[in-house]
Structure 1
Amino acid sequence: MADTLRVLIACETSGIARRAFAALGHDVWSCDLEPAEDGSNRHIRCDVRGGILEWGWDLLAVMHPPCTRLCRSGRQWMSGPGIWTPPKRLPKGRTLADLRAEFETGVDVFTTCWRAPIARVAIENPEMNDLARARMPDDLPAPQIVQPFWFGEPAYKKTGWYLRGLPPLAATDRLPEPERGSEEWKRWNAVHRMPPGPDRARLRSRSFPGMMAAAAEQWGGWAAEEAVA
């Protein structure tokens, strides 16, 4: 049985997802504009839209595409009430042209990856605002929303997966939730309570190893079995 897949982990520098698939023997590479934090020689510095999607992959997992302007929380900066009306305010030091450019980049990266010539695609992204949703492909499903504590990670962080050719993730080690307002509950909310700083966005977007181990086992195993069915 041929159970090794060619896997591309796009928009990731931490190596967490790459290592999870590699641990199961897959031929896996990551790519991002920035270098890999772990210095891996299986990381390619490039724009995912630059041709790498054509290299004959079996599975594409897009971990942290630019989503700040696509998610619901980012809508307030893009438009006021209605569709593309002037926003009430802008982030300090930013122009509306800057934000629209970031929006267009986010849309282009997402749609390019979704339409990639790859049979199995998983794109991590929050639930989108109406402006972004209007620009998405017609066949884009609603995201599967999962939480890190479904996979043994004591943390809250809603994670949306847009899936094509892959099954929804199943919980592997669901932890009991702490009492709301308790010290443990506050620790579980560390991602949301993270103070401002130059590394805040990068740290908030990091994958959870437990979730990535489940993804590698479930999606990798399912895809390998399907490939030889």
Structure 2
Amino acid sequence: MDDHPAPMRVLVGCETSGVVRRAFAAYGHDAWSVDMLPAEDGSNRHIIGDIRDHLDDGWDLLAVMHPPCTRLCNSGVRWLNEPPTKLNEAYSPAEIAAYAAMDREARLAFMWAKLEEGAALFSDCWNAPIPRICVENPVMHRHARERIRGWAKPQTVQPWWFGEPAFKATGLYLRGLPPLVPTDRLTRPKAGTAEHKAWSQVHRAPPGPERWRERSRTYEGVARAMAAQWGNPGVPLEMEAAE
């Protein structure tokens, strides 16, 4: 790889932490983040708004890290048959209040509507006019896959492949980008040990208003690998994919 590649224009979508934005910026790229919420680090390289309003702005790489697509995940497919009795903290206070007053049929319709919204957002990002795209999302159920234009199988990675002592299976849907190569694979602890429980902190996080934010945060080791391995626009896409 070129030691001094020309900088790319990188858009990091659905991220407030700034972890991925800062990783690409550290390699000299013109990196920006966009989300409906402000940036946690107060950066002036963060756009507050809908990512879909910025997909045509001439980016070289799009990384959508935490799209609000909970209804697309395998873990939530059961709610499409029997809706939950209440919504969790990932929803807005207005949605939570409105949902509480709904009957079963209205709640079921709400769940399916959220599926449609999530699939539409994912499709718009996945099919954006940008040569290199990564969209992060957990394993999808069949109803979600059927609604994604051009759906393709993702690469699944773990934080502990990149020096982070944690379990969090993450699906990376890649177009024009090669799969991430592990950089610092740790030794996986044995199940039932205190270390194994510590590595499972994302899944064991107690309910609370910040739980959704902490569960969606990108690990810095993963972000560094993305910037290091995908941040070379001088290499043709077909060569990148073959490496």
Instruction: State TM-score, norm by structure 2.
Output: 0.86
Alpha-carbon RMSD: 1.4
Q: For residue 149 of structure 1, what is the aligned residue in structure 2?
A: 160
Q: Match for 1:6: what amino acid?
A: R
Runs of 4+ displaced beyond 4 Å: none
Question: Following the alignment from structure 1 to structure 2, what is the Cα–Cα distance between the partners of residues 114 and 157?
Answer: 22
Q: Which residue of 78, 88, 113 corresponds with 2:125?
A: 113
Asked if the contact 2:11/2:63 (under 8 Å) is kept, the reply is yes
Listed one character per residue, the Cα deviations across residues 137-173 of structure 1 (whole Å, up to 9, x for unaligned) are 2x32211000000000000000000000000000000
Q: For residue 83 of structure 1, what is the aligned residue in structure 2?
A: none
Runs of 5+ consecutive residues of structure 1 not aligned to the other structure: 80-86
Q: For residue 60 of structure 2, what is the aligned residue in structure 1?
A: 58
Q: Match for 2:26: what amino acid?
A: A
- Residue pairs, 1:64-213, within 5 angstroms: 64-79=66-81, 87=82, 89-92=83-86, 93=100, 95-137=107-149, 139-213=150-224
Q: For residue 7 of structure 1, what is the aligned residue in structure 2?
A: 10
Q: For residue 225 of structure 1, what is the aligned residue in structure 2?
A: 235
Where 2:173 maps in the other structure, the secondary structure is strand
Question: Following the alignment from structure 1 to structure 2, what is the Cα–Cα distance between the partners of residues 108 and 220?
Answer: 28
Runs of 5+ consecutive residues of structure 2 not aligned to the other structure: 87-99
1:49, CA displacement in angstroms? 1.5
Q: Match for 1:90: what amino acid?
A: P
Question: Following the alignment from structure 1 to structure 2, what is the Cα–Cα distance between the partners of residues 170 and 2?
Answer: 19
Asked if the contact 1:4/1:224 (under 8 Å) is kept, the reply is no
Listed one character per residue, the Cα deviations across residues 161-217 of structure 1 (whole Å, up to 9, x for unaligned) are 000000000000000011111000000000000001111111100000000000000
Where 2:119 maps in the other structure, the secondary structure is helix
Q: For residue 84 of structure 1, what is the aligned residue in structure 2?
A: none
Q: Match for 2:20: what amino acid?
A: A
Question: Following the alignment from structure 1 to structure 2, what is the Cα–Cα distance between the partners of residues 57 and 212?
Answer: 18
Listed one character per residue, the Cα deviations across residues 82-138 of structure 1 (whole Å, up to 9, x for unaligned) are xxxxx2x4232362232222212211110000110000100000110111011112x
Question: How many equivalent pairs are there?
Answer: 217
Q: Higher helix proportion, which one?
A: 2
Where 1:196 maps in the other structure, the secondary structure is coil
Question: Following the alignment from structure 1 to structure 2, what is the Cα–Cα distance between the partners of residues 48 and 98?
Answer: 23
Instruction: State TM-score, norm by structure 1.
Output: 0.91
Where 2:71 maps in the other structure, the secondary structure is coil
